[in-house]
Amino acid sequence: MSPAPTTETAAVRLLGERAGRRLAVRVRPRHDTGSLIREPDSQDLIAGVRVARLQLWPDDRGYFLEVMRQGEALGAGLAAGKLQVSCALSYAGAIKALHFHYEQTDLWAVAHGQLQVCLFDLRADSATFGACNTLYAGTLQPWEILIPPGVGHGYKVIGPEPAVLVYVTDRFYNPADEGRLPYDDPGLNYDWETQHR
């Protein structure tokens, strides 16, 4: 995809520029879920987004899930200065979307339940600017997802039970670095409805 024009048009809505990143929404004409990512090495992944399978060790007591080792695998994508580990429990059917960062990188791992994760490339100078990805991650598909700065991200809890998301960030929470878009932003035109009825 070509980079965004230098001025705001009907097809591109500027969000802001900080830390050398110009973020914008490229208006999507279709109401859909973008590219469905079925494999961690999919050619359709947004530039800079990385996905890997997590090791999950089940036994007769439950299971153990290792989220990250600093400096290894996807953990190597996090700068080692001010790591913060957080956890969010969301109820069945809840949508938490959409937010983005100018500087922060996120590493997500679903510890329990299932999420429909949506990602949008908001980086106006990215080769995949405007691209949308949908991934299904959780107990049934234990993936970790590395989300670079400038990629909008959110999720919906699917299934009958709550979901627990553990996420590691490469900086401490800073509200000045975070931007938000409504889950039903008309420019993003993302379809949160059940797709396979």
CA distances from 29 to 34, 46, 196 (A): 11, 19, 21
Q: Average pLDDT in the 96-113 region?
A: 96
d(CA 31, CA 184): 10
d(CA 139, CA 69): 20
Residue 46, token pair as written in the block = 């947004």
Percent of the chain with pLDDT over 70: 94
pTM of the model: 0.91
Q: Which domains does the chain have, with CATH numbers?
A: 12-180 (2.60.120.10)
Reported confidence tier of residue 26, pLDDT bands at 50, 70, 90: very high
Phi, psi (5° rounding) for residue 75?
-60, -20
Task: Identify whether the C-beta of residue 153 lies closer than 8 Å to the C-beta of residue 100.
Answer: yes
Q: Quote the pLDDT of residue 10.
A: 58
Find tokens 């008309």 and name the residue.
186
